[in-house]
Chains A and B, each alone.
Chain A
Amino acid sequence: MTFSHGDAVRVASRPHDGHHRTPSYLKGKLGIVERVHESFPNPETRAYAEDGLPPQRRLYLIRFDQHAVWVDYDGPSGDGLLADVFEHWLEMPA
């Protein structure tokens, strides 16, 4: 497990051909690790009839500031967006 609760992370902005579970609207966005989930088979290979192994990929719940995700978000500054992101889609922010 690379990241811990409270760590700052950036969602990788790389494109990916084929099935993956990283929503495009979060690619390149900065967030904070809210929860460390367990590990799961990689959906990117499992989607193509493989077993998703090895290795299992660690899943994290990441919290984003809504105003950092949407430039025109019109809610209060404390509003958050949380999404589960697999470890291989997370980077240390520069």
Chain B
Amino acid sequence: MSHDHHDHDHSHDPVTTSGEPPVATRVRALEELLVEKNILQRDEILQRIDWLASRRPGDGARLVARAWVDDSFRERLLEDARQAALELGLDPGPSPVVVALENTDTVHHMVVCTLCSCYPKALLGPPPAWYKSLPYRSRAVSDPRGVLREFGLTLEENVELRVVDSTADIRYLVVPRRPSGTDSLDEEALAALVTRDSMIGVSQPLADA
């Protein structure tokens, strides 16, 4: 009996756990090995995932908003972001050092991790998928102004663009510029303008509604 490839509906892909992407299979195998070798306990992995999933960019936004309304806090934030986070009762996470970089009208910072996806997760939550993507990781260093334009941000020529490649143990948080026309807003209203992307440096904070 002939085998007609156009007349049946099952796929000829390799047999895997149904629908699981290859990377998920790899991660699962790694996890099983780490547990089997007693390097990690399954509880620790779950706790770590829960911790990560509980983090929100709103924490970073609180730091930025406080820095906008309080100059001495701003100085402390730029000096030692970890201490500044603790001062607001925020959890700066297990990273040993968080460094805050301030955008001004002449300097704009944007952050990338070309080697993997280093990110101030404790203060911003899990990184967005695009931050971990190869196109962002390669083009953010070689064509950063083009990348910013794609995010809707056209940087003027007289603004110095500083791309920060977080290659090692430091996690970088951008302190964006306070939008004009926000003098009457209180700290909480200001924090609502501070987006995740503005703390990565790929956009400006929201304008006052």
- Chain A interface (Cβ within 8 Å of chain B)? 21-23, 25, 35, 37-38, 40, 43, 59, 61, 63, 66, 69-70, 73-76, 78-86
Q: Are A75 and B144 in contact (CB under 8 A)?
A: yes
Q: Complex: how many Å from CA A22 to CA B168?
A: 9
Segment with Cβ contacts to A, from B43-51, B85-93, B156-164? B156-164
Chain A residues contacting B163 (CB-CB under 8 Å) are 66, 79-82
Instruction: Please give me the residue from chain B that is nearest to A41 by CB atom.
Output: B169
Chain A residues contacting B162 (CB-CB under 8 Å) are 63, 79-82
Residue in contact with B165 in the complex, picked from A37, A38, A59, A82, CB distance below 8 Å? A82
How big is chain B's contact interface, by range?
Answer: 20 to 34
Residue from A21, A35, A79 having most chain B Cβ neighbours under 10 A: A79
Take A21-B115, A23-B114, A23-B115 as given contacts and tell me if A79 and B168 are in contact as well, using a CB distance cutoff of 8 Å: no
Instruction: Please give me the residue from chain A that is nearest to B101 by CB atom.
Output: A82
Chain A residues contacting B169 (CB-CB under 8 Å) are 37, 40, 59, 84
Chain B interface, DSSP helix/strand/loop, else mixed: mixed
B97 at interface, CB cutoff 8 A: yes
Q: Complex: how many Å from CA A63 to CA B107?
A: 14
Q: Are B114 and A37 in contact (CB under 8 A)?
A: no
Q: Could you mark each residue 133-177 of chain B with 1 if its beta carbon is under 8 Å from any beta carbon of chain A, else 0?
A: 000000001111100000000000110111111111110000000
Q: Are A73 and B142 in contact (CB under 8 A)?
A: yes
Chain A residues contacting B157 (CB-CB under 8 Å) are 76
Chain B residues contacting A59 (CB-CB under 8 Å) are 168-170
Name 8 A/B residue pairs within 8 A (Cβ), A-sorted: A25-B141, A40-B168, A61-B164, A76-B157, A79-B145, A81-B163, A83-B165, A84-B170
